[in-house]
Amino acid sequence: MKILLIGASGMIGRAVSHALSAGHDLITASRSSGDLHVDISDPASLRALFAKTGRVDAIISAAGDGVMAPLATMSDDDFNRTVDTQMKGQLNVLRLGLSAVAPGGSITLTSGVAAQNPMPSTSAIAASCAAIEAFTRTAATEVETVRLNVVSPIFVKESMELFGLPTDGGLSAADTAKSYLAAVAGDMHGQILATPDFA
């Protein structure tokens, strides 16, 4: 299977890349590393990426650049960076990527637990995650030839460790990656996949 993985340099992306590297023709892309470079906040960059990859069997987006900031002190840059990259960037992966995926293939985006569990300083992130989920569920009612799904990760233990946080309640990146494998190999369409369900 020919799979394009966007966001391959991140914590989750690296785990997904490792899980897919055996047995698939994997193309990795991110802003600064991988087989190809892409800025998902720029539609022209995405169009150029899909022109380079040609037809693929699946696209996975594990990319996003959300900013945690209290609402009272959130700058325009904080807000726009989150909305432009995490939300609009991923929605454009789906919107523009449809023509690059072979019939019967799939596109999998990434949201996050913030959409269901409000936490301080994550208002822009939560809004972006919720928008990704709503957009994908609705798009799935219109698209029949390509399966569209979203993986909603809980906190990744390795990231929690980097921030000096306790890892109780987290999930390893390797276990998180299993949800992406299920989305690519399964038959679900228009679904939000909670990562603990596949660990």
pLDDT of 97-153, one tens digit each?
999 999 999 999 999 999 988 889 999 999 999 999 999 999 999 999 999 999 999
- One DSSP character per residue, the chain reads -EEEEETTTSHHHHHHHHHHSSSSEEEEEESSSBSEE--TT-HHHHHHHHHHH-SEEEEEE---------GGG--HHHHHHIIIIIIIIHHHHHHHHGGGEEEEEEEEEE--GGGTS--TT-HHHHHHHHHHHHHHHHHTTT--SSEEEEEE---BHHHHHHTT---TT-B-HHHHHHHHHHHHHS---SEEEEGGGG-
Q: What is the mean pLDDT of residues 59-78?
A: 92
Domain boundaries, given as residue ranges, for the chain: 2-198
pLDDT tens digits, 70-113 = 999 999 999 999 999 999 999 999 999 999 999 999 999 999 99
pLDDT tens digits, 155-188 = 898 887 877 878 888 899 999 999 999 999 999 9
Q: Looking at domain 2-198, what is its CATH homologous superfamily?
A: NAD(P)-binding Rossmann-like Domain (3.40.50.720)
Instruction: State the pLDDT at residue 29.
Output: 97
What pTM was computed for the model?
Answer: 0.95
